A and B are shown apart, each in its own frame.
Chain A
Amino acid sequence: MKTYADINRRIEAGRAVVMTAEEIIGYVEQKGATAAAAEVDVVTTATFGPMCSSGCVLNFGHSKPKIRMTEAWVEDVLVYTGLAAVDVYLGATQLRHNDPANMYYPGEFRYGGGHVIEDLVAGKELQLFALSYGTDEYPLRELRTYFTIQDLNQAIMVNPRNCYQNYNVAVNDSDRVLYTYMGRLDPNRRNANYCSAGQLSPLLNDPLYETIGVGTSVWLAGARGHVYAEGTQHAGACPRTEQDVPRGAAGTLALTGDMKRMRPEFVRGVSLTGYGVSLGLGVGVPIPILNERILKRTCVRDRDIQAPIVDYSSDYPNRSSRVLGYTDYETLKSGEIEIEGKRVVVGSLSSYARAREIAALLADEIRRGEFLLAEPQQRLPVDGRMKPLTIRPPAT
């Protein structure tokens, strides 16, 4: 048994034993769980993939004369101005002004919110255009200027939903190509796409949210960030395997972190043909090995993690709960799965290679004593289901 304080003392002293969620599997097989639990302090987990529910709060400071922005665009991408005078929220999936979207189907969606966020973190100069109705103390009614992230007072990422615990494997049962947030799906189940880091993924290594909770320190694209709430659509109550690993989407995390400290290679604009724009984001989460039970959870392997295969031509859009079957991440990563006797080639949206890199980077930071763990102040709920939206007439 160790406490967060014990582990942090060892980290500060540069003596912490840290392994990635991939390395720990073989280590525990070799050493046994009891010995490994006593020895290992932290297991690092990570993921990299499109995370649509991401965005950031920017504060521009005041112009002379001052403006209370009521509409604003960064690089022609609309930002939300329903906040104080020069605070805005920039969302990852916002399209650029005049983007034809799917008018000429499938749309290309070359640039949008996610790309602005990438350019900001990369230190590029960006254009701000803002309008206002003008008030006595904020008389300016129009403004066009240029800025970089260094000119801003704050650039704080605030992501309502990241790190889905597990996810669907998407296929297409129709006879035309589908363009979805799960990528391009060829007709008649010609390909399948998944999106999870599997055995490296944060919440799959802590399936019942024993260590990852509100207040947990995370590695957010290279910056030190935090879990600030349960993520939207967090639904802990879901079908689970005997090892408590969810067999579907389940938990999510709401994350925040300082964009001025992020690394551009882990903050990437995403263009999904026919679907829209998003943000590809890299997240690392350290798991403190407080006891043997927690350690065993981190030994989860790709073959132990199941994912539901879902048809995105009819079942998904119509909210049917039909699942075509289950597969596991070991099979998915082999590049081919079998569905009802037919072999289907597999692609993905999530980068396992990047997740490995992040888990290793975070492990190094912890070993060097640069990244301390934070004890969660509140646990994420293990009960709770996802509510649907009912389309209905007024109740009164």
Chain B
Amino acid sequence: MSTTVTKKLMLFFPRCECEKPIIYHLVKDYDLIVNVFRAKVTPEEEGYLVLDVTGTEANIEQALEFVRTFNVTVNYAGKGVAWDADRCTHCGHCVPHCPTAALHVADRGTMEVAFDEAKCIECLACIKVCPYGACSSAF
């Protein structure tokens, strides 16, 4: 049995591809476990989707091939939420409000704050609480 991996992805759906049941096919045809963090359809009918997919490497790859046939852009970095290290002052205000410790104090000696992108569930809490505009959302 091949081992499974989990990948965080951000998908961008151009206009008119939003109505296709792509997630359904990911589960049914490629045997992937899908965990959607955040989805949005803009007034221009473009769609954003940030999700985790878990499955075999081969299945994930084939699934993404399939997704691309719909003209969907796949962003492996999965950065629906970005943390700008240059704008962060390491004040630590966001830390108690981040539910998954994606934003965390990396070293209690220096009190430096770090962002673990893989842990981010895109709740957007940090965007509201960061006084320095260091956190932002792609959509």
* A-to-B contact residues, CB < 8 Å: 48-50, 110, 183-184, 186, 191, 193, 265, 268-273, 278, 280, 333-335, 345-354, 356
Contacts and interface: CB of A to CB of B under 8 A. Distances in A.
Nearest to B90: A353
Contacts of A333: 108, 111
A347 B94 contact: yes
Contacts of B91: 48-49, 280, 348-351, 354
A272 B105 CA distance: 21
Given A346-B96, A347-B97, A348-B93, A353 B131 contact: no
A278 to B, nearest CB: 8
A245 to B, nearest CB: 20
Interface residues of B, number: 21
B132 interface: yes
A180 to B, nearest CB: 12
B129 A353 contact: no
A351 B131 CA distance: 12
Interface of B: 86, 89-97, 105, 108, 110-113, 128-129, 131-133
A334 B95 CA distance: 12
Contact of A351 (B89, B96, B128): B89
B95 A347 contact: yes
Nearest to B97: A184
Contacts of B133: 110, 271
B132 A345 contact: no
A229 to B, nearest CB: 27
A280 B89 CA distance: 9
Nearest to A354: B89
4 A-B pairs with least C-beta separation:
A353-B90, A352-B111, A347-B96, A191-B96
Given A347-B97, A351-B92, A353-B110, 13 more contacts: A49-B91, A50-B131, A183-B129, A270-B132, A271-B133, A280-B91, A347-B92, A348-B93, A351-B91, A352-B92, A352-B110, A352-B111, A353-B113
Contacts of B108: 333-335
A345 B96 contact: yes
B112 A273 contact: no
Contacts of A268: 89, 132
B2 to A, nearest CB: 40
Contacts of A270: 131-132
B128 to A, nearest CB: 5
9 contacts: A268-B89, A270-B131, A271-B132, A271-B133, A273-B128, A280-B91, A347-B92, A347-B96, A349-B91
